[in-house]
Amino acid sequence: MTTTQPRLRIAMQKSGRLSDDTQALFKRCGLKLNLTDRRLLAHVSNMPIDIMRVRSSDIPGLVMDGVCDLGIVGDNTLEETALERELMGSKSAYVRTCSLNFGGCRLSLAMPEEFNYQGIKSLNGLRFATTYPQLLQRYARENGINVNFCMLKGSVEVAPRVGLSDGICDLVSTGSTLEANGLKEVEVIFRSKASLIQTATPLSPEKQQILDTLLPRIQGVMKAKESKYIMLHAPKDKIAQVSELMPGKETPTILPLAGRDDLVAVHVVATETFFWETMEKLKALGCNSILVMPIEKMMG
């Protein structure tokens, strides 16, 4: 008798704003899969993992109901679904396994440019077009105001212009959609990023083992994306000041330079943004050959 090895099932957005980043994350984690065809379930050929490609809005429910073990979804969709399910008495528990550094946006209230905004109370009794009624109502409750809403799944930004609503409650990233539609952002009600979530029910030991291999890779990719490898030549007598200027908490590696008694090579992994201003300060200290390079993978 042959037994089939359990496979970890991960839900991802089929197409849209999170799908390219999710696909790139899987690739950088070394997962070999073919996402070019239209199949719902894509098999990873080098690990016991299946990727289910669905609409973003279906992902929280699929994980909460245990149809998928894990999912990658925006916190906005996750929180809205959890609130909606709580209200309906359906399963709404999940575990946030890790926060990912893509899909950043905010859910905001926006009003026509000409609206005289005088603080949150001036929104009392108004009507908002939104895809996120639960998050909108929770915010209104927490701030002691009453709002009405009309549910729209797309083109939310046109609602005030066509007389459907007074304002909107929608996702914003650059703000250009609001500007193009004569709207101004008046309140940020929720900040969101993509997250990796998993079922509230513990995974079987076999599936947990697969996740224990995958998770450090995901964290390594995230950390590498936020980090830079910095190399420079520094005057030997300025090492203390140079180290002080290095971003992050890593101790720099100091290496001798062939044929130079006055200079050393300084290498460091920076986990914070390395600004042009810092490079200019290093140059002013007598440093040269300052290189800032991306890191592909990190572990440990």
C-beta of residue 53 within 8 angstroms of C-beta of residue 80: no
Q: Encode 69-117 in three state secondary structure.
A: CEEEEEHHHHHHHHHHHHHHCCCCCEEEEEECCCCCEEEEEEEECCCCC
CB of 171: closest distance to ligand PRT in angstroms? 4
Binders of ligand PRT in range 6-65 (CB under 6 A): 13, 16-18, 55-57
Nearer to ligand PRT, 171 or 197 (CB): 171
Under rule CB under 6 A, residue 101 binds ligand PRT: no
Nearer to ligand PRT, 69 or 80 (CB): 80
> What is the SS3 assignment for 43?
strand
User: Residue 266, exposed/middle/buried by CB under 10 A (0-12, 13-18, 19+)?
Assistant: buried
Under rule CB under 6 A, residue 192 binds ligand PRT: yes
Nearer to ligand PRT, 22 or 199 (CB): 22
Measured from each CB, the residue nearest to ligand PRT is 74
- Note the Cα 277 to chain centre separation in Å: 27
CB of 96: closest distance to ligand PRT in angstroms? 14
Q: Tell me the angle at which helices 19-28 and 205-226 cross, rounded to the nearest 10 degrees.
A: 100
Under rule CB under 6 A, residue 103 binds ligand PRT: yes
CB of 194: closest distance to ligand PRT in angstroms? 6
C-beta of residue 19 within 8 angstroms of C-beta of residue 74: no
Binding site for ligand PRT (CB under 6 A): 13, 16-18, 55-57, 74, 76-77, 103, 105, 170-177, 192
